[in-house]
Structure 1
Amino acid sequence: MLTRRQFTLSSAAAFGSASTALAAMLGDDGLHKQPWFSDTFLELGDDLAAAADNGRHLMILYEQNGCPYCRELHEVNFARSEISDYIKTHFDVIQLDMFGAREVVDFDGEALEERDLAAKWGVNFTPTTILAHNMNRGAQSIGKAQTFRMPGYLKPFHYLSSLEYVAEAKFEGQTFQRYLQDKFVELEERGIDPDVW
């Protein structure tokens, strides 16, 4: 018998190559969609396990209809190939609607609507990007699954740095602020202005 997770993985494999040619578009729910977003049964523990099985990490992206910063995330950050390619290489992305009614199964097994999950997790801003490292597989709460959270819009340099901080497990040896300071120094030594990047 085919499980939900196996069905999702086989469907993604079958349709993955066709979807990569598509551009971002506005969905019926008013949220911007990327062709590389994952389409799952929204069972987050299984989603993290599936990502880990493939050596990837999980990104949960909370957005809302009409959010100008969400639009900026898609039109500026995700339009940059260095960011979108990095995400496609290292993360499975699940998009949730801050005021949505789809059922989501939390890491602790509780089934609730997207909007109720946002309240439970303390998501107060959109976009909010939650990153879960694959070593957190089997976590029983968002507190244990989440490695890093970006509440609100970050400019491209900081957004990509956040992704690298998690995907490359830099969080194990230093705070994010220290990691950013080291990156700024490295860029300055190479004559690159991170504010222009």
Structure 2
Amino acid sequence: MLRNLLTGLALVLAMPVFAATMGDDGLHKADWMRDTFKDLREDLEEANAEGKRLMIIIEQRGCIYCKKMHEEVFPDPAIDAALNEDFFVVQINMFGDVEVTDFDGTTLPEKDMVRRWNALFTPTMMFFPEQVAEDARANQAAVAVMPGAFGIWTTRNLLSWIQEEGYLGDEPFQKYHARILQEREITE
């Protein structure tokens, strides 16, 4: 009996720990995601008040790439810490019906807003500057858009590049990423 108990315990401990749970809508829910009214103007204001960067993540039910990000990438301690401490993350359901208000005041259901933004892939992460023009659409205002699933180092480096406002400098993200990997002698 003790042997069975120890075997069971070993199996439980060997199972991966996931930072996200599955919501009723079939999307992953992480503790760093914010439950807001999805008015991007208000979300940006709140993010700024907290000293964080606004990030939208577009996902869909059954997305294998979303699953990969939530199970393999987002739980990385450095990424999890950055998302908790530095980013104000709002989740959008690619095929959802919850109303979203864009920066220009247009209000549409999630699925129509995603189409308006020309977002084709999930997950898609959109990052915003501290100030956005009143007449801008989110896809126009974003300083970076990451469509699809990427590895830990690409994601870590993108979050750092956004925080450092690398998009304002002369070093594009791809060169920044390559430099960081080379400096740390990492092969991704």
How far apart, in 2, do the equivalents of 1:134 and 1:118 lie? 22
TM-score (ref. length: structure 2): 0.85
What is the aligned-residue RMSD (CA, Å)?
1.7
Among residues 172, 182, 185, which one is paired with 2:182 in the alignment?
Answer: 185
Trace 1:145-156 onto structure 2 (pairs within 5 A). Answer: 145-156=141-152
User: How far apart, in 2, do the equivalents of 1:162 and 1:89 lie?
Assistant: 15
Q: Of 32, 42, 45, which residue of structure 2 is paired with 1:46?
A: 42
Return the TM-score normalized by structure 1.
0.81
Please tell me the residue identity of whatever aligns with 1:181: A
2:26 matched to 1:30? yes
Structure 1 residue ranges without an equivalent (≥5): 1-21
In the TM superposition, residue 184 of structure 1 has moved relative to its aligned partner by: 2.1
Q: Does 2:176 correspond to 1:194?
A: no
**Alignment: residue pair count:** 170
What SS is found at the alignment partner of 1:165? helix
Mapped partners of 2:50, 2:122: distance in 1 = 28
Q: Which amino acid aligns with 1:145?
A: A
Aligned residue identity for 1:125? F
Instruction: Give the Cα–Cα distance (whole angstroms) in 2 for the partners of residues 83 and 23 of structure 1.
Output: 11
| Cα-to-partner distance string for 1:155-193 (whole Å, 9 max, x where unaligned) | 1110111111111111111211121122122112xxxx2
2:57/2:89 contact within 8 Å kept: yes
- Partners in 1 of 2:144 and 2:135 — Cα distance? 14
| Structure ID, larger Rg | 2
Post-superposition offset of 1:125: 0.4
Task: Tell me by how many angstroms 1:38 deviates.
Answer: 0.5
Q: CA deviation at 1:87?
A: 1.1
Report Cα offsets for 1:27-55 as digits up to 9, x if no partner.
Answer: 01000100221011110011011101221
2:74 is equivalent to residue 78 of structure 1: yes
Deviation per CA, 1:101-138: give whole Å up to 9, x if none. 00000111001000001100011000001111324475
Structure 2: segments with no counterpart, 5+ residues: 1-17
Is the contact made by 1:127 and 1:151 (CA closer than 8 Å) also made in structure 2? yes
2:56 matched residue in structure 1: 60
Q: Which moved more, 1:94-103 or 1:171-180?
A: 171-180
Paired AA for residue 82 in structure 1:
A
